[in-house]
Amino acid sequence: MQLYNTLSAKERRALIEEAGEDRLTISFYAYAHIGNPVIFRNHLFIHWDTLDVLGRIYVAKEGVNAQLSVPAKNFDAFKSHLDSISFLEGVRLNIAIEQDNLSFLKLKIKVRHKIVADGLNDVTFDVTRKGKHVNAREFNELVEKEDAIVVDMRNHYESEIGHFDNAITPDVDTFRDSLDIIEDELSEHKEDKKLVMYCTGGIRCEKASAYFKHKGFKQVYQLEGGIIEYTRQVRSQELENKFIGKNFVFDHRRAERISEDVIAQCHQCGHECDKHVNCANEACHLLFIQCEDCATKMDECCSTACKEIIALPEEEQKALRRGKEVSNKIFKKGRSEVLKYKK
């Protein structure tokens, strides 16, 4: 019985391009109490592999978090399988604003300690005791109120290229960093203010809403479906869009444009730019913002040192990497000192 991906990304890309069929990029999450994550993980893989589902999925005792791609022709079968699982029946599916058949090239379902790392060890905290969900229309009305505080639960490199107008955007590298910072900064408003949170698809601010309720905040709200669902509703219902810039996404597209505003700058020259790239040096792979002129000048590298490395023969590059641990946490590295205009 096959329980793991067997094709390379290159092989899968060729198959997708040869098939020439439309695929849907989808994300969803659900907090639940899963007794045996390994068995549940294998159950998902067996069923989804037959439907040609690709993506990055995390399973833990606290629930499931999925970003994936499914052939459009198999969507109904995929949805039927979700509905056959009690806590996933009717789960909200965030369908990408911009579709890309190559958004994912492997099916990876991993068992993790948590689906959202939070650094918490409080056994009295119940992640399912969440705050109140609001849709796009309700969110727009809520944030206009004087007693509302809007908080971005994403990381610095995400909010740097796009965020809601007048939102608090913590300068953090990880979700776990933001929890204590926000509680400390807003502690005096636990009784009198409406805490309104948002993130990409809802998974982080849902856990945060439960956490801040646990910490004594009385009026806690969450944008249901996050920025992805907000944008869909704004466009379908012709509502006012209060999000400026791009929404960072965790597949190879890196972002979806929500408004025409460009609120970030190239990390190398300082010119207006909001395009995230990864350094071309595989030993670096730094995530940063780079304009087209700097990409040409720097051979798509973050620094002169990396530019010199990629000019070497491939064997010499491999020799330099040999024996060194290369972090795959590519979304956390935008603090590098080589970037003159970083946030």
- CA–CA separation, 83 vs 92, rounded Å? 11
Q: Are 26 and 68 in contact (CB under 8 A)?
A: yes
How many C-beta neighbours within 10 Å does residue 324 have?
7
User: Which value, in Å, is the radius of gyration of the alpha carbons in the chain?
Assistant: 21
**What type of residue is 235?**
R
| Annotated active-site residue in 199, 266, 273, 284 | 199
Contacts of 229 (CB under 8 A, 6+ apart): 92, 94, 136, 201, 202, 223
What residue type is 339 in one-letter code?
Answer: L
Phi, psi of 149 (to 5 degrees): -120, 120
269 tagged catalytic? no
3-state class (DSSP) for residue 25: strand
Q: Return d(Cα 221, Cα 225) in angstroms, integer.
A: 12
- Contact of 161 with 265, CB cutoff 8 Å: no
Asked if 267 and 289 touch (Cβ cutoff 8 Å), the reply is yes
The angle that helices 203-214 and 175-186 make with each other, rounded to 10 degrees, is 40
Point out the residues that are catalytic: 199
